[in-house]
């Protein structure tokens, strides 16, 4: 199952992606607050959801990319970033009537840790704990699951950090940024994502726009065998 | 595109207590937090024969640079660093042909200077938040939080860059804050550094309940004690002249998101906050959920002179500068500047055309005020840096295109720096070659490059002109003259997140 991630609005992006790959993605992954350098999904959730619907990939996964110096910081910083992420998810959910939670009750929420960024255990535990314990929309179902986007073989602390987290504070999934063999949505490479030792890698960014010379503003992602990323994303049930 | 080598760091050096800065006993330790801070002296560029325009600004050469990061796992809790105060002019680096070229990268062996441990000093550990430098870089503010019996004690320490010693410090007690609370501290300097405002986000656990939640890996339900939280803000003000702290002033903004953005001019503090959406919000509240709130406080006061709705996006660590007019500029979405008129709170938005090209990935963005009233802005993921004039709707006065580096979003966010004179732009080398590049700002032409294959992740120019680049494996710190001649390297046990 392949999809796109992008820092640009879906409605501004999907047509060029269609033109380049002549295929529909199974899902999108979009940035939510706090991501101070990106266009944010929740700032035009209706337009973005329409774009996702029109693209044929009517599932939207969630990632947050805070200022990267914060990820090596304190529990207070991790708590604050997770709180803002959950609030942004709720704002988007409230703004789009046909935007629904996954049927399995597990919405994966990724923290963006870049190659040269350190992740401290204090930050991660506070971030992940807040996500895991967030009573989303007062539903009492606690559907948010903390997950980590990272380059597992980076020399900076990432896998070693989350390996120390326990229970529901451990990432539900790793989204690996390496390697980058490139490919297309309809012809992805065979699954060989880099992995962390203790947490399953369930998503692989096998092609980045710059590294793969893509003209569309998308990176290419592949779900692990027997895993559905779309089933762990917001579902745009109908065109808003 | 990226190095995949998993390197092992060398054993960290213990910094010598040589009297040049605070010794081990004086290392600041906050009760909560993980960050550490080191002070690093400039390398005395005046002795480097290959340097051009190496005369440091008066007094600047004596300044320390502060390196902030996370210590290696298993190492001592304080970061440590080895650095030299002055590399010898006859060192291998200086006898090597300079790596200067006009249009192509040279391949020069890395400098083999062995730096002593003299001159580097650990300064602080267990910091509550990333430090903040004053506009003139002369002072760095460090905040620590300690939970005490009757509340949370927040201590602001101002480090003098000339001595790496504590210049001033003050504390404020947040009474009644329980031990399980989170306190996020954001220091904000006035342009003349006379007042440091503290924005304090206090997040308190309010209810706990046991729920059953399916484990993401096993699919089995697990019992979990969940906590709900509520956040609000408080302000405090530290007067450098008197050494006194005013506050805390508690704001009635509960429930609020802890994340905020703040900036100060000479008389007022501007604070962006966001109301935390609630499950039972009315339709009108939901319709306005994208808005944040801008409040303007006279310095020293907890009562806002003005409080108005502010346009999206929510405050989230975006770059912010105080303009010569006293108005405040936020660089939002990595592509637009919102200018807040401090008199009325009105916000105008200006697109930065050089930043307008959408990309799949976000890029780090930076914005810094310059002494001449212009601002220096970078977006390394798009390979662009510019000097813009706020008085002309942020039109570009000069713009340089460069090859994007391999890590345009990762820490540290500083990937490109402008020389003090404003004539040279230094950037990390491209994804395919690494190293460093220098461009003439007036022409946009590449004037010098250096590469021996290393990919650096962050770049800083020290007050005396020395360039400091950081990379993943030891020696993590590499020093270069303004002509990109390598000066030397140093180990540190910190994974560097930021440099001040």
Query: Token pair of B232, please?
Result: 């609000």
Give the whole-angstrom CA distance, residue B425 versus residue B487. Answer: 19
Cα A152–Cα A156–Cα A157 angle in degrees, nearest 5? 80
Q: What is the mean pLDDT of residues B149-167?
A: 90
CA closest to A10 among chain B residues: B360
CA torsion angle for B398, B400, B405, B409 (degrees, to 10)?
30
Tokens 């940024």: give the residue. Answer: A177
Give the whole-angstrom CA distance, residue B246 versus residue B154. Answer: 13
Q: Which of B69, B362, B363, B494 is best to mutate for the A interface (most A CBs within 10 A)?
A: B362
- Band of the pLDDT at B67, cuts 50, 70, 90? confident
Residue B381 contacts residue B393 (beta carbons within 8 Å): no
CA closest to B495 among chain A residues: A118
Asked if A105 and B214 come within 8 Å (Cβ–Cβ), the reply is yes
Coarse DSSP helix, strand, coil percentages of chain A, rounded to the nearest 5 percent: 30, 20, 50
Q: What is the pLDDT of residues B198-241, one digit of tens each?
A: 999 999 999 999 999 998 888 889 899 999 999 999 999 999 99
- Examine the pLDDT at B85 and tell me if it is beyond 50: no
ipTM of the complex: 0.96
Nearest beta carbon to residue A155 from set B257, B334, B473: B473
**Number of Cβ atoms within 10 Å of the Cβ of B279:** 12
Q: How many CB pairs under 8 A join A and B?
A: 275
Task: List chain B residues with CB under 8 Å of A211.
Answer: 1, 431
Give the predicted TM-score (pTM) of the model: 0.90
Give CA separation, B472 vs A155, A168, B404, B491, in Å: 6, 30, 18, 11
Distance, in angstroms, between B217 CA and closest chain A CA? 6
Question: Among A211-220, B3-12, B99-108, which range has the highest average pLDDT?
Answer: A211-220
Distance, in angstroms, between A173 CA and closest chain B CA? 8
Asked if A123 and B34 come within 8 Å (Cβ–Cβ), the reply is yes
Q: What is the pLDDT of residues B168-202, one digit of tens each?
A: 999 999 999 998 999 999 999 999 999 999 999 99
Task: List chain A residues with CB under 8 Å of B460.
Answer: none
Least confident of B99-108, B151-160, B363-372, B412-421: B99-108
Give the whole-angstrom CA distance, residue B62 versus residue B162. Answer: 6
Give the whole-angstrom CA distance, residue B485 versus residue B291. Answer: 49
Cis peptide, bond prior to residue A34, ω within 30 of zero: yes
Nearest beta carbon to residue A72 from set B69, B128, B185: B69
Q: What is the pLDDT of residue B339?
A: 97
CA closest to B470 among chain A residues: A116
Query: Token pair of A56, please?
Result: 């044929």
Asked if A69 and B413 come within 8 Å (Cβ–Cβ), the reply is yes
Q: What is the pLDDT along chain A (240 residues), one digit of tens a residue?
A: 899 999 999 999 999 999 999 999 999 999 999 999 999 999 999 999 999 999 999 999 999 999 999 999 899 999 999 999 999 999 999 999 999 999 999 999 999 999 999 999 999 999 999 999 999 999 998 999 999 999 999 999 999 999 999 888 999 999 999 999 999 999 999 999 999 999 999 999 999 998 899 999 999 999 999 999 999 999 999 999
Residues 6+ apart with CB under 8 A from A187: none
Distance, in angstroms, between A180 CA and closest chain B CA? 9
Asked if A116 and B410 come within 8 Å (Cβ–Cβ), the reply is yes
Burial of B411 (0-12, 13-18, 19+ CB in 10 A): buried
Q: Which helix (H) or strand (E) covers residue B269, if one does?
A: strand B268-273
* Residues B452-465: b if buried by 16+ CB within 10 A, e if exposed: bebbbbbbbbbbbb
Distance, in angstroms, between B95 CA and closest chain A CA? 32
Coarse DSSP helix, strand, coil percentages of chain B, rounded to the nearest 5 percent: 5, 45, 50
Task: List chain A residues with CB under 8 Å of B277.
Answer: 87, 90-91, 94
Task: List chain A residues with CB under 8 Å of B133.
Answer: none
Nearest beta carbon to residue A116 from set B334, B358, B457: B457
């Amino acid at each position: 199952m392949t999809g796109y991630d992008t820092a640009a609005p879906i409605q501004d992006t999907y047509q060029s992606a269609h033109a380049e790959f002549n295929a529909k993605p199974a899902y999108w992954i979009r940035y939510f607050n706090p991501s101070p350098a990106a266009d944010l999904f929740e700032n035009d959730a209706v337009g973005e959801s329409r774009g996702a619907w029109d693209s044929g990939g009517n599932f939207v996964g969630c990632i947050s990319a805070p200022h990267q110096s914060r990820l090596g910081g304190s529990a207070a910083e991790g708590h604050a970033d997770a709180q803002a992420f959950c609030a942004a998810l709720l704002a988007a959910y409230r703004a789009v009537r046909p935007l629904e939670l996954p049927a399995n009750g597990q919405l994966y929420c990724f923290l963006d840790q870049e190659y040269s960024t350190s992740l401290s255990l204090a930050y991660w535990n506070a971030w992940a704990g807040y996500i895991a314990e967030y009573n989303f929309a007062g539903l009492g179902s606690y559907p948010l699951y903390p997950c980590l986007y990272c380059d597992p073989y980076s020399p900076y602390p990432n896998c070693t950090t989350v390996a120390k987290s326990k229970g529901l504070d451990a990432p539900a999934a790793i989204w690996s940024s390496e390697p980058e063999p490139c490919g297309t949505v309809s012809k992805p490479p065979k699954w060989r994502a880099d992995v962390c030792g203790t947490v399953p890698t369930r998503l692989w960014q096998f092609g980045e726009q710059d590294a793969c010379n893509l003209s569309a503003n998308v990176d290419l992602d592949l779900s692990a065998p027997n895993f559905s990323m779309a089933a762990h994303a917001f579902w745009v049930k109908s065109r808003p | 595109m990226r190095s995949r080598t998993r390197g092992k760091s060398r054993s960290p050096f213990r910094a010598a207590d040589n009297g040049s800065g605070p010794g081990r006993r004086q290392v600041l330790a906050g009760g909560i937090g993980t960050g550490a801070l080191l002070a690093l002296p400039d390398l005395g560029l005046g002795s480097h024969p290959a340097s051009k325009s190496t005369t440091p600004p008066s007094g600047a050469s004596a300044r320390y640079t502060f390196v902030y990061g996370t210590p290696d796992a298993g190492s001592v809790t304080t970061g440590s660093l080895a650095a030299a105060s002055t590399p010898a002019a006859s060192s291998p680096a200086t006898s090597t042909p300079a790596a200067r070229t006009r249009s192509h990268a040279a391949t020069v062996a890395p400098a083999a200077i062995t730096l002593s441990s003299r001159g580097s000093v650990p300064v602080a550990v267990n910091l509550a938040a990333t430090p903040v430098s004053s506009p003139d870089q002369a002072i760095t503010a460090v905040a620590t939080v300690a939970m005490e019996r009757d509340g949370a004690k927040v201590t602001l320490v101002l480090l003098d860059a000339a001595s790496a010693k504590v210049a001033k410090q003050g504390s404020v007690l947040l009474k009644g804050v329980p031990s399980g609370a989170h306190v996020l501290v954001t220091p904000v300097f006035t342009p003349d550094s006379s007042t440091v405002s503290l924005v304090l986000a206090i997040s308190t656990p309010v209810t706990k309940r046991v729920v059953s939640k399916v484990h993401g890996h096993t699919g089995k339900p697990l019992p979990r004690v969940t906590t709900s939280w509520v956040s609000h803000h408080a302000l405090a003000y530290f007067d450098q002249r008197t050494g006194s702290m005013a506050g805390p002033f508690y704001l009635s903004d509960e429930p609020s998101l802890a994340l905020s953005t703040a900036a100060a001019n000479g008389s007022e503090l501007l604070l962006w906050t966001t109301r935390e959406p609630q499950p039972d919000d009315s339709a009108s509240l939901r319709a306005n959920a994208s808005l944040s709130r801008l409040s303007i406080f006279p310095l020293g006061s907890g009562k806002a002179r003005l409080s108005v709705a502010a346009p999206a996006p929510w405050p989230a660590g975006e770059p912010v500068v105080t303009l010569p007019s006293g108005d405040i500029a936020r660089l939002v979405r990595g592509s637009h500047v919102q200018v807040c008129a401090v008199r009325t709170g009105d916000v105008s938005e200006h697109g930065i055309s050089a930043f307008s090209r959408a990309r799949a990935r976000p890029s780090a963005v930076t914005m810094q005020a310059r002494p001449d009233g212009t601002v220096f802005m970078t977006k390394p993921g798009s390979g662009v840096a510019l000097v813009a004039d706020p008085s002309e709707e942020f039109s570009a006065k000069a713009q340089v295109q460069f090859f994007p580096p391999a890590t345009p979003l990762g820490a540290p966010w500083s990937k490109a720096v402008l020389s003090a004179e404003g004539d040279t732009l230094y950037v990390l080398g491209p994804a395919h070659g690494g190293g460093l590049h220098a461009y003439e700002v007036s022409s946009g032409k590449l004037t010098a490059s250096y590469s021996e294959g290393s990919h650096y992740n962050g770049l800083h120019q020290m007050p005396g002109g020395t360039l400091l680049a950081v990379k993943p494996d030891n020696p993590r710190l590499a020093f270069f003259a303004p002509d990109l001649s390598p000066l030397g390297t140093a180990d540190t046990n910190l994974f560097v997140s930021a440099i001040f």
